[in-house]
């Protein structure tokens, strides 16, 4: 009887892609994938180790799997991903109930463990087992990161940047489209440095805007969306590509993290407040309809009330279409660990809440501005119990942004033209046109 395996995925979309690659290899090697942990012989926990809360969730999930093993319902527990990449020796010491640990992208090692050396060749990056209910897919164009942000441990977990070749990404995109994917979402730790390492390897001068243009030519790609673009490296060429290529969404996710010059310098972001303001002005001058998402960190070491107020005022002034807020997490082995984490947890939360209330007002206004206008909407799902179809227009990435609600039964994966008829802070209601 074939081993039954359950993969539990935690963390970001990059981990989701890794689990899809892992799943495809496991399936091709002849093992059965199951959806319920209690029905599995082996549980693989693909962990996140980015910040403290993510590590706590990963540990809790591992311990839950270990309980199933102790009860005899599961034979083995394996741990993979960022947490074990970063803390393998400590985890081996503290979690003896785990049978094996694997790092980031250890697909071949996992399959070798499961099925011997002959199973290893079934693990191939770019070959993924997709969720049949989704019509979007993340395309990981690079692994690792060359930036040296003071608060971030990603380079020590995922290494320096390793860009994938244009050819491999075109091939994977073609496979995704053949599998019914309508929206390709480009991800990496920093999209804007894509190809810099390829140039050093003598592979030519390919950059992110070149890749976007090539991917846009793949037959069947309806939408291309850009996530995780470092504001210090966003070029006019990239902005023009987003604006001019028909199947590239007018959308850029560009985490600014802060606006105060002292904090940006301490964060090692390679920018300052005036450069960020100029970038926003330049982008919107080229593309007035662009939807801009950002993320910020509050409570960074030494963040004074005046520095926070500067950030608050900037968010009010800049009016990002979508925004996420993180409270600063003091991470060991990062440059910022030598700073005094002197903003209390309560004050960090208070500042986060204040920014989110402001963004709620901004989002409400922007959504109300959509009323009476027509948008192309990708339907993500139909909720039979509510009789509603849920979709998104170009302004919104899945799972983190707003939604479009239609009082119609529509096929998931289809595109419709819809007119916005009412709005709230985080969703809009529409009718077919």
**What are the tens digits of pLDDT across the range 165-203?**
999 999 999 999 999 999 999 999 999 999 998 876 555
**Listed ranges 48-57, 106-115, 348-357; the one with the highest mean pLDDT:** 348-357
Is residue 79 a contact partner of residue 111, using CB atoms and an 8 Å limit? Answer: no
- Six token digits for residue 388: 């509603």
Which CATH fold topology does 374-432 show?
OB fold (Dihydrolipoamide Acetyltransferase, E2P) (2.40.50)
pLDDT band, residue 125 (cuts 50/70/90): confident
Angle at 59 between CA 57 and CA 61, to 5 degrees: 70
Name the average pLDDT for the chain.
94
Which of 85, 189, 68, 169 has its CA nearest to residue 128? 169
Q: Is the pLDDT of residue 68 over 70?
A: yes
Domain ranges of the chain: 4-122, 136-368, 374-432
Q: Is the pLDDT of residue 132 over 90?
A: no
What pTM value is reported for the model?
A: 0.93
Percent of the chain with pLDDT over 70: 98
**What are the tens digits of pLDDT across the range 8-48?**
999 889 999 999 999 999 999 999 999 999 899 999 999 99
Q: Is the pLDDT of residue 204 over 60?
A: no
**In this predicted structure, what is the pLDDT of residue 321?**
97
**In this predicted structure, what is the pLDDT of residue 192?**
95
Which of 396, 385, 390, 384 has its CA nearest to residue 416? 390
Is residue 264 a contact partner of residue 290, using CB atoms and an 8 Å limit? Answer: no
Which of 429, 372, 363 has its CA nearest to residue 401? 363
Distances (CA, A) of 252 to 125, 154, 255, 290, 294: 26, 21, 10, 8, 9
**What are the tens digits of pLDDT across the range 211-249?**
999 999 999 999 999 999 999 999 999 999 999 999 999
CATH superfamily for 4-122 is Methylthiotransferase, N-terminal domain (3.40.50.12160)
**In this predicted structure, what is the pLDDT of residue 202?**
52
pLDDT band, residue 429 (cuts 50/70/90): very high
Is residue 97 a contact partner of residue 142, using CB atoms and an 8 Å limit? Answer: no
**In this predicted structure, what is the pLDDT of residue 112?**
95
**What are the tens digits of pLDDT across the range 276-299?**
999 999 999 999 999 999 999 999
- Six token digits for residue 1: 């009887």
pLDDT band, residue 133 (cuts 50/70/90): confident
Is residue 261 a contact partner of residue 277, using CB atoms and an 8 Å limit? Answer: no
Same fold, 4-122 and 374-432: no
Query: Which has more pLDDT, 427 or 123?
Result: 427
**What are the tens digits of pLDDT across the range 311-338?**
999 999 999 999 999 999 998 889 999 9
CATH superfamily for 136-368 is tm_1862 like domain (3.80.30.20)
Q: Is the pLDDT of residue 93 over 80?
A: yes
**In this predicted structure, what is the pLDDT of residue 131?**
84
Is residue 15 a contact partner of residue 105, using CB atoms and an 8 Å limit? Answer: no
Distance CA 70, CA 61 (A): 14
Give bridge partners of residue 187 from the DSSP assignment: 140
């Amino acid at each position: 009887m074939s081993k039954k395996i359950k993969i539990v995925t935690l963390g970001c979309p990059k981990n989701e892609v890794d689990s899809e690659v892992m799943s495809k290899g496991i399936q091709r090697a002849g093992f059965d994938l199951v959806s319920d942990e209690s029905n599995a012989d082996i549980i693989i926990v693909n962990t996140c180790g980015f910040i403290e809360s993510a590590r706590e969730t990963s540990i809790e999930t591992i311990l839950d799997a270990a309980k199933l093993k102790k009860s005899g319902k599961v034979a083995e527990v394996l741990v993979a991903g960022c947490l074990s990449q970063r803390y393998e020796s400590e985890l081996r010491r503290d979690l003896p109930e785990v049978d094996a640990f694997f790092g980031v992208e250890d697909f071949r090692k996992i399959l070798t463990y499961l099925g011997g050396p002959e199973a290893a060749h079934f693990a191939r990056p770019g070959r993924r087992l997709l969720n049949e209910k989704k019509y979007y897919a993340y395309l990981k164009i690079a692994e690792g990161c060359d930036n040296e942000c003071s608060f971030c441990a990603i380079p020590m977990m995922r290494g320096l940047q390793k860009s994938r070749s244009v050819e491999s990404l075109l091939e994977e995109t073609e496979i995704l489209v053949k599998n019914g994917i309508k929206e390709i979402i480009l991800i990496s730790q920093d999209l804007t440095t894509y190809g810099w390492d390829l140039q050093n390897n003598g592979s030519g001068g390919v950059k992110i805007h070149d890749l976007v243009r090539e991917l846009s030519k793949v037959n069947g790609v309806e939408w291309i969306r850009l996530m995780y673009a470092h504001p210090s490296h966003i070029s006019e060429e990239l902005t023009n590509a987003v604006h001019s290529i028909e199947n590239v969404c007018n959308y850029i996710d560009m985490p600014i993290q802060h606006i105060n010059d002292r904090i940006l310098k301490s964060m090692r972001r390679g920018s300052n407040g005036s450069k960020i303001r100029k970038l926003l002005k330049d982008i919107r001058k080229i593309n007035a309809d662009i939807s801009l998402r950002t993320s910020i960190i509050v409570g960074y070491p030494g963040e004074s009330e005046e520095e926070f107020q500067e950030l608050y005022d900037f968010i009010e002034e800049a009016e990002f279409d979508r925004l996420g807020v993180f409270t600063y997490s003091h991470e060991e082995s990062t440059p910022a660990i030598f700073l005094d984490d002197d903003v209390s947890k309560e004050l960090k939360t208070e500042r986060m809440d204040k920014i989110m209330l402001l963004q709620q007002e901004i989002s409400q206004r922007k959504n109300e501005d959509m009323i009476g206008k027509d948008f192309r909407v990708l339907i993500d799902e139909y909720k039979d119990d509510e009789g509603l179809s849920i979709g998104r227009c170009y302004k919104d990435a899945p799972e983190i942004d707003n939604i479009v609600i239609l009082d119609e039964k529509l096929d998931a994966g289809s595109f419709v033209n819809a007119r916005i008829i009412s709005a709230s802070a985080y969703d809009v209601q529409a009718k077919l046109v």
